[in-house]
Amino acid sequence: MGTKNIDISDEAYSSLNGLKRNDESFSETIIRMGSGTPSRTSRLRLVCVVLWGYCFVVWLYVIAYQLRYSWGVYDVLAWWLPIRMDYLAEIMFTLSLIFALIAATNPSTKHYKSD
């Protein structure tokens, strides 16, 4: 493996030095930061954002259904799935809140935090 010399500013050096782990070289740090493979926390965050969106849309659908058909509050979701619409709305709202909190508390990949 060959080597190259590069010029970077003092600010860039201190930023790179802050990202460098104790057991790795600067080259390994640059390779790790530019690898492009998503970390485990970023995949968890993506899954939580998708699940939050799904739960939130289902919750909005149930609310719209109940506004359109006021007697439909006690309707079951389907004949093969006897969950009342009001219970479904409560479940979906709670799940969307949980997934939003999980996604908000996981670090973003933009900050390059180590796992």
Query: What is the predicted pLDDT for the residue at 54?
Result: 93
3-state secondary structure of 103: helix
Mean pLDDT is lowest, of 34-38, 73-77, 91-95, for 34-38
- Do 13 and 61 have their domain in common? no
- Do 12 and 58 have their domain in common? no
Name every residue whose Cβ is closer than 8 Å to that of residue 51 and which is 6 or more positions away in sequence.
95, 99
Q: In the 8-state DSSP scheme, what is residue 50?
A: H
Query: What is the predicted pLDDT for the residue at 106?
Result: 73
Range of the domain at 67: 38-108
Q: What are phi and psi for residue 7, nearest 5 degrees? A: -100, 125
Would you say residue 81 has pLDDT above 80? no
Query: What is the predicted pLDDT for the residue at 64?
Result: 86
- Give the number of domains in the chain: 2
Would you say residue 69 has pLDDT above 80? yes
- Do 19 and 75 have their domain in common? no
- Do 26 and 44 have their domain in common? no
- Do 29 and 78 have their domain in common? no
- Do 51 and 76 have their domain in common? yes
pTM of the model: 0.55
CA atoms within 13 A on the CB side of 31: 5
Identify whether 1 is part of a domain: no
- Do 43 and 85 have their domain in common? yes
Q: Read off the tokens for 20.
A: 């460098």
CA 104 to CA 8: how far, in whole Å? Answer: 33
- Do 98 and 59 have their domain in common? yes
- Do 13 and 67 have their domain in common? no
